[in-house]
Amino acid sequence: MRIIQTPDYNGMSIEVARIIAAQLSLKPDCVLGLATGSTPTLAYQYLSEWGNQWLDFSKATSVNLDEYRGLPKDHEQSYHYFMQKHLFQNVPIRPNRTFLPDGMEPDIERACQDYDDVIRYVGGIDLQLLGLGHNGHIGFNEPDTCFAKGTHCVDLSEQTIQANKRFFQSEDDVPRQAYTMGIKNILSARRILIAVSGKDKAHIVKEAFFGPVTPQVPASILQFHQDATLVADKDALSECEGLLP
Ligand code: GLP
């Protein structure tokens, strides 16, 4: 795993945006795997600016990691809404080439099968962007007993509900389930880019990327990916001193 340390959140965001922009410049019709959460928002802001200047999004395809089950696309906390707001409405990406799991599909099996089919249909993911949950989750892959899953429906862990309640009016409004790409989908991406910022993630960064590989820390499997890059700021890497190359 390549590790890029940046001084702060802004530096991390520029670095992440640069890597995505380079991917898009080298292969304009690439498939970008995108993530939500607070971590990538500034990187999306840079990409939105560049997308109106010199960066061509018009041939790109995107597939997002996850979506809350039961939230309609126009709900302010849905990941559909998040992606519109932070990126899709700001750049000339074709709306019919942006994909997210359908949170309103009540048939779990169908929702998951359909999304696995979408990923196959677009030809797989060239570059997958990931954030990191406090318990080591990626997408919404919570600590588990195995890695080998495609798109599936998860019951969110108490820790994830607590972490995400800041975006909702009350804790009761946080959906309890989500559709997420599985570790199998994520690991199949040709390149992986993990973005992490802040002291509150320092402990899990050490555990996930310098500890044993275990489904109890889902992100730890990324240590085995042949082309993974971690972009993290100084705070996020503050417990890894002495471990960094
Ligand atoms: C959420 C998302 C993840 C995200 C993670 C970290 O639950 N499903 O895709 O990476 O939590 O979020 P944040 O970047 O806000 O810390």
Residue 217 confidence (pLDDT) above 90: yes
Torsion of CA 105, 106, 109, 113, to 10 degrees: 0
User: Within a domain: residue 196?
Assistant: yes
Q: Which domain holds residue 63?
A: 2-233
pLDDT (average), residues 13-18: 98
| Tally of structural domains, the chain | 1
221 CB neighbour count, 10 Å cutoff: 20
User: Within a domain: residue 80?
Assistant: yes
Report the nearest atom of ligand 1 relative to the CA of 132: 10
Residue 160 confidence (pLDDT) above 90: no
User: Within a domain: residue 244?
Assistant: no
User: Within a domain: residue 15?
Assistant: yes
Q: Is 35 in the pocket of ligand 1 (CB under 6 A)?
A: yes
pLDDT in tens, 38-50: 999 999 999 999 9
Confidence at 244, pLDDT banded by 50, 70, 90:
confident
pLDDT of 148 reads 78
User: Within a domain: residue 206?
Assistant: yes
User: Within a domain: residue 243?
Assistant: no
pLDDT (average), residues 12-39: 98
By the 10 Å C-beta count (0-12 exposed, 13-18 middle, 19+ buried), 26 is classed as exposed
- What CATH code is carried by the domain that includes residue 191? 3.40.50.1360
User: Within a domain: residue 149?
Assistant: yes
Contacts of 212-217 with CB under 8 Å at 24 or more apart are 215/143, 215/144, 215/145, 215/146, 215/147, 215/183, 216/136, 216/143, 216/144, 217/135, 217/136, 217/143
User: Within a domain: residue 192?
Assistant: yes
Euclidean distance between CA atoms 17 and 9, whole angstroms: 12
Three-state secondary-structure class, residue 190: coil
Q: Is 151 in the pocket of ligand 1 (CB under 6 A)?
A: no
Q: Which amino acid, 135? A: N
Q: Is 20 in the pocket of ligand 1 (CB under 6 A)?
A: no
* Residue among 63, 140, 157 to mutate when testing ligand 1 (max atoms within 8 A of CB): 140
pLDDT (average), residues 63-78: 96
